Structure 1
């Protein structure tokens, strides 16, 4: 397993750059990624409108939104789902810090069928946040079972390679029109090869479980 981090602001960034300059590197990586057999890419991001400042939100096979049983948290879900609706984003909600059946009922009332599963309050996680990181086998069995549900949901998701290509073209055109053409003095939409399709490239790779997960 390899781990990468976008990194914090440098002294030169302060007051000059927004954090999208950091997460843009993640989008570039996913744009050039051809998932191979048995490969998974998990991206941990903050939920909310910031995810939509670029085309990054369209780069995943399935997006899991972690949602607590509170109005503020489900409000973030509603905002995200509203923005993502027109782009065919596969979205699932994972309840967090669920204590009883009323919490589950609250989440179902507000997120409906998008609620996939939920995690209870975890002493294991609390210890980890205090620096005592134990083997994952020590996680509570019920919460460990939730991780298996997430894996199953990812495995059941069909990768939309035509969608990846279409959205990449769309956001390239938007950026070209918004600022890049003026900055470079040329029409950057000419960089798009209309005959290139990721699905054709991917068809040469043996079928296997692979996914990008947000």
Structure 2
């Protein structure tokens, strides 16, 4: 399996606009290994630990070109960037160039009736608690429609959304949350009763600021 980028010693460059721009800040980068139906891939994302309303994914397209896709749930926009990466010794130089924007329309009514139950399944190690998250079609239902089995690592910050951000369609479902933990491993029995597996392979602090022109 190809590595998307070696996230070691990253330096960030970007194309800056005038003051008439929307600014996005990212202070953490994660990489989750995603396995489903015998196939594996890496999901690489940038996050803001203090603001879970937007997320930036980095990916390769079918022609092996690197792009980034920023989804802004608060302003209902998505933005696309071209990413150039060049090796400079032990450092990778990343350059983000803004390409385009389009509307992003998430229907929150899909989740309005969902009920959530969070159960500790193993708390023998207080720094690495295990949880089961059961999700119900509504609060009156007794049988969950799907569930997650989670392995965690304790965190001084609320970094649960680092994991939730990469789980479609729960990216911005704020009630799906456990304060004070990073998710290191997850098994999701999805809506079709198939297993999706997520393994945290990288978590690091970063300093990325992107600007998008206001139109």
TM-score, structure 2 normalization: 0.23
Higher relative contact order (CA 8 A, sep 6+): 1
Greater C-alpha Rg: 1
**Which is helix-richer, 1 or 2?**
1
TM-score, structure 1 normalization: 0.23
**Which is strand-richer, 1 or 2?**
2
